[in-house]
Amino acid sequence: MSGMGLLLDAPSRCLRLSGDFPAVDIPAQGGGESVPLNVTADLSAASPFPALTDMAIEIVVPRLGWSMEEGTFGEWLKPDGTKVERGEPLFVLEGEKSAQDIEAVDSGILRIPPGGPRPGDTVKVGQVIAWFVQPGETLPVAGAASQGQSAASPSSTTAPQQASPPPALPPTPVAVATPQAVVTASPRARRAAQELGVELANVQGTGVTGRIRERDVHKAAPAATTGGGPRISSPAVPAGLTAIRRTIAARMLESSTQTAPVTLHRKCDASNLVNLRRQFQATAATGSTAGTPTYTDLIVKLVSCVLAEFPEVRTQWLPAGPSIPPTLDLAVAVDTPQGLLAPVLKQVDSQTVRQLSANLRSLAERARAGQLGADELSGGCFTITNLGTQGVEYFTPIINLPQAAILGLGRIASEPVVVESGIQAREQLPLSLTFDHRIIDGGPAARFLAAVAQAIENPGPWLMS
């Protein structure tokens, strides 16, 4: 604002202020002679109030899943004082089922407070763990402390009087710290280093931007233990205390207490399924088996075909009651170093066998690497688990809530079977179906298992339908 006029009128005891807006009369506090003032200076430049700056932006712990209330802090991927752009990986957070790289949703200079979270600390959803600031900004911590001190100081006098304002203090500039060399490692790598007694500072990382991975720690472990004399490593944190392990324990307990589980067992002839996979192997373009569907891939596709005819088996028990999902999304159990995970394949019925095989392989690899998102671990209507690779035949799978059934696959083995009054060696596959008797009765469950066995025994027509 410029070209402002001031007129002090003693008889009317008012101060008239005029400028680029309608004139305003301000009552004067005392009398005196009328003093006309003509001020044309730019008063905005002489304002005693400091110019406003952008406020520091809070960095909070996100919610990775709908039931997540807290998580385990993995590590900072950027050191204190670094300029961070939106979308860059900022820190690692371990949720209920996986550890994820959390990206920055804003830009600025990263400032981590002295009491910030350290690897392994438990953090609450919504907790402020750091800030983004601009050069010259004050830290919110300092401002809050000064406010607390001001509020705690009692008034020196009890008589009501107008206290003189304290002298304005200039804002404390935030110095841009020089980025320090920090060790970035995945949570699995940190646990392995603690168990093996390996110093992460001496490990060469092979991940993105030099991040240390678990295999890097194992590779460096022999070199770290070749020093003279025995070495006593620090005690490792038991795997049972991880957030993922606690989540698995809670889900298993919920399933055993909130369902009426019944398990049916039967054996089917998988000879045609074995021959079908051999045909895939024979037609591989490069002669490699890398792109050949596994037995699990083929059975997942066959089960999706059968599930289309048994809607009650793919029912979910939600808080509002039983519900049948509109799409055929199947979960497949994957054994990972962090624990048992069940990533979900979306719309299996619309995928070809080769597409399904590639997608399932990608899900399994990312599950073992701890890179799955929360949406990839939820929403399935049926689960398939395979212990046949471990030599197991029959077992009792635990229902994956809120689903109503789960199918267990055993070891395919060649056994003598009576065929048309003769004995032949046939490939036999044990099947174990656990279902929730609150939703599914024994008859429909047995018919579903029989249909699955029939699809495995004659896979061609089912895959072509």
The pLDDT tens digits for 360-407 are 999 999 999 888 888 898 889 999 999 999 999 999 999 999 999 999
CA distances from 73 to 90, 151, 236 (A): 12, 34, 17
Which pLDDT score, from 0 to 100, does residue 23 have?
53
Which pLDDT score, from 0 to 100, does residue 43 have?
43
What is d(CA 353, CA 301) in angstroms, rounded to the nearest whole number? 7
298/212: higher pLDDT: 298
Tens of pLDDT, residue by residue over 69-110, are 888 888 899 998 889 999 899 998 887 667 788 899 999 889
Which pLDDT score, from 0 to 100, does residue 348 have?
94
What is d(CA 425, CA 140) in angstroms, rounded to the nearest whole number? 75
Alpha helices in 350-428 (DSSP H): 353-368
Strand order of the β-sheet with 128-133 is 57-60, 128-133, 108-111, 83-84
Q: How far is CA 74 from the centre of its chain?
A: 12
**385: amino acid identity, one letter:** T
Domains and CATH numbers, the chain: 5-45 (no CATH), 57-133 (2.40.50.100), 187-237 (4.10.320), 260-464 (3.30.559.10)
pTM: 0.58
DSSP codes, 301-344: HHHHHHHTT-GGGG-EEETTEEE--SS--EEE-EEETTEEE--E
Which pLDDT score, from 0 to 100, does residue 118 have?
87
What is d(CA 98, CA 243) in angstroms, rounded to the nearest whole number? 9
Tens of pLDDT, residue by residue over 46-55, are 434 344 345 7
176/261: higher pLDDT: 261
Give the angle 48-51-55 at the CA atoms, nearest 5°: 140
DSSP codes, 43-100: GGGG-SSPPP-PPPEEEEPPP-STT--EEEEEEESS-TT-EE-TTSEEEEEE-SS-EE
What's the average model confidence in pLDDT over 187-201?
76
**Cα radius of gyration (the chain):** 34
Contact present, 339 and 244 (Cβ < 8 Å): yes
The token duo for 336 is 């990972």
